[in-house]
Structure 1
Amino acid sequence: MNDHYLKKIDRVTAILTQLQSKPIVRAQDLATKFDVSIRTIYRDVKTLENAGIPIIGEAGNGYSLMDGYKLPPVMFTKEEVLSFITAEKLMQKFSHQSLGNHYQTAMEKVRSVLRHSDKNLIENIEKQIDVFNYHAQTGNELKNVIPTILESIADKTQLIIEYKTVDSRVTNRTVEAVGVFFEFNYWYIMAFCTLRKDFRQFRVDRILQIFKTQNTFSQEYGQINDYRKYSDGEKTKVRLLVEKKIMGHIVNSRRYYGFIEERETENGMEMIFDTEWIEEGFPRWLITFADYATVLEPESLKTKLRNLAADISRNLEE
């Protein structure tokens, strides 16, 4: 069997997997994915139909499998099996418990359809992979909170949440969820708050109760990254002049504090930030390397650093 037919078999199998995993598959998308012509995709689909696969649709409209049609379990490559193991380790360490439980159930189903040799591969290799998480795990009092949020997004229904703010106030909000994201070791929900008439993000571990209502909303909110640009507070521009020898120690943490860009100068690296944590977070981070940095602006940041340094000095004298 020559290389041409081997490639076709791989491509046709992959197209079948796409049909199994999506409600509608467009020929143009398949042609782009496999870097072939649309005419080649038409022939591949015809090959599947000739093999008895009940495909609904036609060229130009997209294809799908007949509803209710069941295919035998798919076979996974060795590389795919190894990727499952790695993903499972990551989910165990970083996922919210409400997601982790569902993922574990899904993985059990995946394991059930693996060949005997692949099951042996998992048993031999899974203890050789680990993920070390140095951050404290957050509480998971609400076991089904993220699935509830995702269901509300899919159904376009409003949520009512009882939320504990950073200053320990408890408030009730009606929100229209846009999405969820993981950042700084916490899960967040991005949503339109009907009380504030604006977009807000809420830390999932601070949600005390959550209820999915029957109230639907029609607004199309788009992708979550379009809304993470919104901020609860005003941002302050900060310019620092930092000695080059310390840059390697702050290159990973700087992005958490609104880092925008840097410019190399004769006297060091000029770093520019757009931060909303100018009152507490930014000064406390900056003081960890303040002996290697000069504040160019704002002037108020210098005052905050002096006050913070004075408090530290006073505590050390006591």
Structure 2
Amino acid sequence: MNRIDRLTAILTHLQSKRTVRASELAARFEVSLRTIYRDVRSLEESGVPVIGEAGQGYSLVEGYRLPPIMFSREEALAMLVAEKLMEKALGEQTSKHFNNALIKIKAVLKSTEKDLLVEVQDTIKVLKSSSSPNMNQSSKAFQFMLQAISDKNVVATTYVTFDPEQITERELEPVGMFHSYEQWYLMAFCRMRRDYRTFRLDRFSKFRFTDISYSTAKHPSLQSYLDKVAGEQKLHQIVLEVPDGSLKYLANSKYNNGFVSEEKVGERTVMTFMNSSIEGFVRWVISLGDMVVIKKPTILRVRLSELLNEIKQMQE
């Protein structure tokens, strides 16, 4: 990226947030802090009202805006792909808001880019995933919790736990949401348990706003919470041996089960996983049938034998 393009991109980035740190700009554009300082000084000299606050970062004077910036051909195509993905990933309700935002963005495209999007529109498809039956419920909860986080509003919910399956009434202070293992999760402070908990969005059967507000200042950030959970979680190292002909059947699902690495040994591949749930992992292994051999840990082999016996007894 040449300097002129970088200066324009820095100005666009400054408009995207209230305050932007120099280190953030340096990381994004892969340049030194000294280069960022020089670039910002150049923007100031050209008349851009940049405000620099020690220890805070850079911001633009309130009300200053650039005229619409044109997108490149590659950026326009990337936007189309993102639109296709979001239609399925977000569900109907949130996808509608996303598409409305994209229409406004597309309005500033050049005629050639608009024609290009029309031409390739039907050449890209995103098929529904196996989790699509829960998508509508997740989407409604996603939009609701997003508003709760924005308004800092305590929500009253009815939640169905997984194991054992129980219906509980809870008042939550939503902190953040994340996507993992093909599901959306909410991290929130549970007033009933007086502690932070993680909830699957599709397991909320009811949710409503209360008249109670809360302060986010007393809560940890979503990232710090996830880091803490990862540090406390007991992970099991699991090693499987897979014949080469069976590797293709694990290609997608391995990443949802803690895949770490693999090593070719003759006509077989040794795969290493790190997973916190022996029970969940062994049920995935059962679905693979005779395509894998458990090398370790012993506890996984023992639980597999127990589960197979339980299945056999159920069929007798």
- TM-score after normalising by structure 2: 0.79
C-alpha displacement of 1:156: 4.2
* Alignment correspondent of 2:308: 305
Q: Retained in 1: the 8 A contact 2:187–2:222?
A: no
Return the alpha-carbon distance in structure 2 between the equivalents of residues 169 and 113 of structure 1: 51
* Alignment correspondent of 2:214: 216
* Alignment correspondent of 1:193: 190
Q: What are the superposed Cα offsets for residues 203-248 of structure 1, whole Å, 9 maximum, x if unpaired?
A: 21222232344331332312347437649xx979585653434344
SS at 2:2 equivalent:
helix
Q: Retained in 2: the 8 A contact 1:295–1:301?
A: no
1:127 aligns with 2:122: yes
SS at 1:140 equivalent:
helix
* Alignment correspondent of 2:293: 293
**Aligned residues: CA RMSD:** 3.4
Q: Retained in 2: the 8 A contact 1:27–1:38?
A: yes
Distance 1:82 1:225, change over 3 A: farther
- The structure that is helix-richer by fraction is 2
Distance 1:151 1:187, change over 3 A: same
Q: Which runs of 5+ in 2 are unaligned?
A: none
Q: Retained in 1: the 8 A contact 2:264–2:270?
A: yes
1:29 aligns with 2:27: no
Which range moves more in the overlay, 72-81 or 189-198?
189-198
Q: Retained in 2: the 8 A contact 1:187–1:203?
A: yes
Aligned length: 304
Which range moves more in the overlay, 123-132 or 265-274?
265-274
Which range moves more in the overlay, 147-156 or 102-111?
147-156
Correspondence list, 1:208-287, <5 A: 208-213=205-210, 214-217=212-215, 218-224=217-223, 226-227=225-226, 230=229, 237=236, 242-245=241-244, 246-258=246-258, 269=270, 274-276=275-277, 278=279, 281-287=280-286
Return the alpha-carbon distance in structure 1 between the equivalents of residues 2 and 311 of structure 2: 65
* Alignment correspondent of 2:159: 163
Q: What are the superposed Cα offsets for residues 119-146 of structure 1, whole Å, 9 maximum, x if unpaired?
A: 1111111211111234252252586532
Q: Retained in 2: the 8 A contact 1:261–1:271?
A: yes
Amino acid at match of 1:27: A
Which range moves more in the overlay, 116-125 or 132-141?
132-141
Q: Matched residues, percent identical?
A: 36
1:41 aligns with 2:36: yes
Q: Retained in 2: the 8 A contact 1:27–1:59?
A: no
C-alpha displacement of 1:84: 0.3
Return the alpha-carbon distance in structure 2 between the equivalents of residues 236 and 39 of structure 1: 42
Return the alpha-carbon distance in structure 2 between the equivalents of residues 164 and 184 of structure 1: 19
Q: What are the superposed Cα offsets for residues 258-304 of structure 1, whole Å, 9 maximum, x if unpaired?
A: 556778889974756544362xx444432234435257522343122
Distance 1:116 1:196, change over 3 A: same
Q: Retained in 2: the 8 A contact 1:262–1:272?
A: no
Q: Which runs of 5+ in 1 are unaligned?
A: 1-5
1:150 aligns with 2:143: no
Return the alpha-carbon distance in structure 2 between the equivalents of residues 265 and 37 of structure 1: 44
